[in-house]
Amino acid sequence: MQRRRFLQSSALASTLLLVPKFLHALDRPETRLAALLRDAPTGKARRLIVVQLSGGNDGLNTIIPYRNDLYYKARPSLALKETDGILPLSDDLGLHPKMTGLKGLYDQGQLAVLNAVGYPNPDRSHFRSMDIWQTGSGSEQLLTTGWLGRYLDSNCAGCELPYQALEVDDTLSLALKGQLRKGLAVKTPSKFHQLTQSRYLSRLSQEAAPAAATSELDYLYKTLAETASSADYLYDKSKIHTSTATYPNTDLGRNLKTTAELITSGVESRVYYLALSGFDTHVRQHEQQGRLLGELSDGLAALAADLQKNGEWDNTLVMVFSEFGRRVTQNASNGTDHGTANNVFLLSGALRKPGLLNAPASLADLDQGDLRYQVDFRSLYASILADWLGADDQLVLGPGIERLAGLV
């Protein structure tokens, strides 16, 4: 191969790949992920869908303490009132008016709300706080692998599929990057398949490097072969089922529909990862947050109905998080600045404890103007890993992280 062509193909492979070199023989039946999974109540393997709200969603205007005078005092023009159409969850807490889809799931016992989730010594930087959430680290740690990537490393021994975890996007998040294994970023199966079908790349992926080679060239050959095999598998699987459900005509809506189609088509992924951005609402928060929360709510309601119709909802758990909440007091631009603790949503047809799982953080006992966290997000991760995915949470997160009992 000419050096120039090798470098060109290397650049493309770096965008396609997302698996290490030793993952190969993708079509062997004994390597299929289902063989490594524990039984779910429905007899099917359990899966996790993570939805990341990027930018720091304002939790106080999402789960609203609509009978708390301190809330209205801190936000004289930004606070939502009962007359705005707040959707009551209890006598004093309610959902944002745009979240009617999630309110319906709440009423059906398919939504749980965990309040005041955070971590000690919080960081208000978007990038650092998102790294902490994606790696599952403490604020004093710097990790280069994600919590779901380490799940793949430690709980998929012998599993050679590069699509054990799928991010429905063009790039792969740190959360899905392990030391040995990584997830796969796929916006749509057809787009991913098309990227691997150029005549030049197709020929490269079919050429065999010397078996004993350990060079970069060997790595490239294997990467291209694995990428092409994954693209073929996902593309073929995606043709099995096309959803007829109506999703919001938004990027998130389309990504959720793709997720449902892959699940219903029988793709053997344990983890799906999606994101919705735009929550950094320093200015004119009402309109921006309302639009985004409506998009999220309608999309998740459509996903739940779609998967329930196809018998895949009881073995699916959705976790919705943001890297931090916002300050309690509104700013001068009718928005909110970076805060700390926040709420997390859990959705499934198999929740053991739906509803409000704990009390919200006190507005009378703030930490320098911020909400005090009550639940360490790593305890939530530990519970999901051990109780839902059947994994060894200590191998993924390290010792000393206490699980939250009885969530799933």
* pLDDT number for residue 198: 63
* pLDDT number for residue 201: 54
Residues 143 and 133 sit within 8 Å (Cβ to Cβ)? no
Residues 165 and 208 sit within 8 Å (Cβ to Cβ)? no
> For residues 19-44, b (16+ Cβ closer than 10 Å) or e, as one string?
bbeebeebeeeebebeebbeebeeee
pLDDT tens digits for 339-358? 999 999 999 999 999 999 99
Q: Is 60 exceeded by the pLDDT of residue 276?
A: yes
> What pLDDT band is residue 236 in, cutting at 50, 70 and 90?
confident
Q: Is 50 exceeded by the pLDDT of residue 3?
A: no
> What pLDDT band is residue 13 in, cutting at 50, 70 and 90?
very low
Q: Is the dihedral of CA 206, 210, 213, 217 positive or negative?
A: negative
Dist CA 320 CA 49 (whole Å)? 9
* pLDDT number for residue 370: 97
CATH architecture of 47-191+252-397: 3-Layer(aba) Sandwich (3.40)
Highest mean pLDDT among 196-205, 208-217, 299-308: 299-308
Residues 269 and 315 sit within 8 Å (Cβ to Cβ)? no
Angle CA(393)–CA(313)–CA(262) in degrees, nearest 5? 85
Q: Is 60 exceeded by the pLDDT of residue 59?
A: yes
Residues 63 and 95 sit within 8 Å (Cβ to Cβ)? yes
Ramachandran sector of residue 149 (left: φ over 0; alpha: ψ -120 to 50; beta: rest) = alpha
> What pLDDT band is residue 235 in, cutting at 50, 70 and 90?
confident
pLDDT tens digits for 99-148? 999 999 999 999 999 999 999 999 999 999 999 999 999 999 999 999 99
Averaged pLDDT of the chain: 86
